[in-house]
Amino acid sequence: MLQIKNLHAGVEENDILKGINLEVKAGEVHAIMGPNGSGKSTLASVIAGKEEFDVTQGNIFFESEDIAELAPEERAHKGIFLSFQYPVEIPGVSVTNFIKTAINENRKAKGLEDMPANEMLKMIREKAEMFEMDRKFLSRSLNEGFSGGEKKRNEIFQLAMLDPKLAILDETDSGLDIDALRVVANGVNKLKSEKNAIVVITHYQRLLDHIVPDFVHVLMDGKIVKTGTKELAYELEERGYDWIKEEAKAV
């Protein structure tokens, strides 16, 4: 589904990503871990198409198509979804109205008519229930005055509504208490299927107790320096990152 080959990217002349190789297949869950400033969020943004970053070398293929030149919304239309670490506040536009706009924009890109209002409402109700969001929440302005947990829940709600092929969750666990974490993780697990894939970017292992990864990658200084299974996440939790640094140096 997603193939990243020797990806170098950064801002102006400074590369933040220095040769990333990553392959994600349908049905898989990947976790990307690493210390602060290692390039985790940059990788997520580059896959989603943030214009601020220049790709200087390498390729990103999504379903065998090179997407490096596509606008963020075109990538979204192809089925890539990025859940933000810091979702942006949009006053005056309710959660419901926003998700309607997003759904219909995606349908328009596929040459489909707008979704009928009753169908839309039914779907919104279903997904909102899944994440234990009440009606009042849906009529509030998007992310405005939301708590950290509410913001993340709203991100996953949008994920459920848009049903992408590839979901990238950037630090979805930060700012969540344990109950909210469980709700979000259960939701993500319900959405998981053989046809889609999930990339979880996180600092800590605790989210991975709930969303169990098939692969764990360690990102350091713009490179994936180690890949393993979920046991690697436990090891990182216990031992930190220094030993990997040493190991990488030795190689």
Partner 1 sequence: MSLKDKLVSSYLAFEDYIDADSHIHEIRNKAIKTFENSGFPSKKDEAWKYTSLNAIIKEDYCIFPKKENTVEFKEVKKYFLHEIDTYKIVFIDGVYNSFLSETTHDKVDVCLMSSALSKPKYKAVVENYFNKAAKEDSLTSLNTAFAKEGAYIFIPKHREVEKPIEIINFATGNEAALLLQPRNLIVAEENAHVQIIERHQSLTENAVFTNSVTEIFAEKNSSIDYYKVQNDNQSASLIDNTFISQKDGSNVSVHTFSFGGKLIRNNLNFYQKGERVNSTLKGITIIEDKQHVDHSTLVNHIEPNCESHQDYKGIFAGNSTGVFNGRIIVEKEAQKTDAFQQNNNILIDDKATINSKPQLEIFADDVKCSHGCTIGQLDEEAMFYLQTRGVRKKEAQALLMFAFASNVLESVKIHELKARITKLIAKKIGVNLGFNL
User: Site for partner 1 (CB under 8 A): how many residues?
Assistant: 35
Q: State which residue, 49 or 222, has the beta carbon closest to partner 1.
A: 49
Among 12, 13, 69, 91, binds partner 1 (CB under 8 A): 91
Q: Of 13-21, 55-63, 98-106, 205-213, which segment contacts partner 1 by CB under 8 A? A: 98-106
Smallest Cα–Cα separation from 161: which of 199, 184, 198, 191? 191
Q: State which residue, 51 or 242, has the beta carbon closest to partner 1.
A: 51
Q: State which residue, 48 or 201, has the beta carbon closest to partner 1.
A: 48
Phi and psi angles of residue 113, each rounded to the nearest 5 degrees, phi first: -70, 165
Q: State which residue, 75 or 226, has the beta carbon closest to partner 1.
A: 75
Q: State the nearest-atom distance from the C-beta of 34 to partner 1, in Å.
A: 22
The alpha carbon of residue 33 and the mean position of all alpha carbons in its chain are separated, in whole angstroms, by: 13
- For position 101 contacting partner 1 by CB under 8 A, the verdict is yes
Q: Distance of CA 150 to CAs 74, 93, 121, 122, 167, Å?
A: 27, 16, 21, 21, 19
Q: State the nearest-atom distance from the C-beta of 158 to partner 1, in Å.
A: 6
Rounded distance, CA 9 to CA 101, Å? 31
Rounded distance, CA 193 to CA 118, Å? 26
First-to-last C-alpha distance (Å) of the chain? 30
User: Quick check: 48 and 168 in contact, CB under 8 A?
Assistant: yes
Among 88, 178, 250, 251, binds partner 1 (CB under 8 A): 88
Q: Distance of CA 215 to CAs 46, 111, 142, 226, 232, Å?
A: 21, 36, 33, 10, 9
Q: Distance of CA 83 to CAs 15, 136, 159, 163, 240, Å?
A: 23, 22, 8, 12, 26
Q: State the nearest-atom distance from the C-beta of 206 to partner 1, in Å.
A: 25
User: Quick check: 152 and 138 in contact, CB under 8 A?
Assistant: no
Q: State the nearest-atom distance from the C-beta of 121 to partner 1, in Å.
A: 12
Q: Of 59-67, 105-113, 182-190, 195-203, which segment contacts partner 1 by CB under 8 A? A: 105-113
Among 42, 154, 158, 205, binds partner 1 (CB under 8 A): 158
Q: Which residues, 23 to 82, sit near partner 1 by CB under 8 A?
A: 45, 48-52, 71-73, 75-77, 80-82
Chain contacts with partner 1 (rule: CB under 8 A): 45, 48-52, 71-73, 75-77, 80-82, 84, 87-88, 90-93, 97-98, 100-102, 104-106, 109, 114, 141, 158, 162
